[in-house]
């Protein structure tokens, strides 16, 4: 079984913010693959199902971003999952808006949810699907930017970005990691393509 975690913050206040794009992608995967993400345990909303021929557990930590690692470590321990069976979906300030990138390991890029997972697992070799949110256009802090709703010129593309990220995750399980990485990582951002 593989654990697919979307990072975000719980509650309506954060629902349509950039930092919650991981939750949005998990919601899209759940809808596409008919997986109910309704169980509550391990400080997560979660559910199990299949993507292609792979059994997956979709999860959305409800601990707030800075403590995501606690929830991820708990669910991995309970299901006896190895770090190689973990895939984390999160926003990335350093990627252009709309760019999707699949990576294994690496630094946190300043992402507090990723840092929390690194610390809880004492490991960074898990798979990640990064969703580019770009940098602030205006004079605002990075923290304020990620916790704010999308700019008006971005809002219309969010559904496409979420679909593309969900398709990238699906491709990992249906086409294999190498093929998915090659296809996804070579792609342009949706903003530059439009």
19 is annotated as an active-site residue: yes
The Cα angle at residue 184 between residues 164 and 107, in degrees rounded to 5: 100
CA 148 to CA 137: how far, in whole Å? 13
Torsion of the alpha carbons at 58, 162, 23 and 77, rounded to the nearest 10? 30
Residue 109 half-sphere exposure toward CB, CA atoms < 13 A? 20
Q: 2, 19, 90, 118: which is the annotated catalytic residue?
A: 19
Paired strand residues for 20: none
Q: What are phi and psi of 168, to 5 degrees?
A: -65, -45
**DSSP-H helix ranges across the chain:** 21-32, 68-78, 112-121, 142-146, 152-155, 158-175, 177-185, 190-193
54 in Cβ contact with 173 (< 8 Å): yes
With 0-12 CB in 10 A as exposed, 13-18 as middle and 19+ as buried, what is 53? exposed
Residues annotated as catalytic (active site), given as ranges:
19
């Amino acid at each position: 079984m593989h654990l697919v975690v979307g990072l975000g913050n719980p509650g309506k206040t954060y629902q349509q913010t950039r930092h919650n794009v991981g939750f949005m992608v998990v919601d899209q995967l759940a809808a596409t693959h008919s997986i109910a993400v309704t169980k509550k345990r391990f400080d997560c909303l979660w559910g199990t199902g299949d993507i292609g021929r792979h059994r997956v557990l979709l999860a959305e930590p409800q601990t707030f971003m800075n403590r995501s690692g606690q929830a991820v470590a708990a669910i991995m321990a309970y299901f006896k999952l190895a770090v190689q069976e973990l895939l984390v979906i999160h926003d990335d300030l350093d990627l252009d808006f709309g760019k999707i990138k699949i990576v294994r390991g690496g630094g946190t890029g300043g992402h507090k949810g990723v840092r929390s997972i690194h610390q809880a697992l004492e490991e960074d070799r898990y798979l990640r699907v990064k969703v580019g949110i770009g940098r602030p256009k205006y004079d605002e802090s990075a923290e304020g930017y990620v916790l704010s709703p999308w700019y008006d010129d971005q809002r219309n593309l969010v559904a496409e970005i979420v679909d593309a990220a969900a398709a990238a995750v699906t491709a990992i399980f249906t086409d294999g990691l190498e093929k998915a990485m090659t296809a996804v990582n070579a792609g342009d951002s949706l903003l530059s393509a439009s």
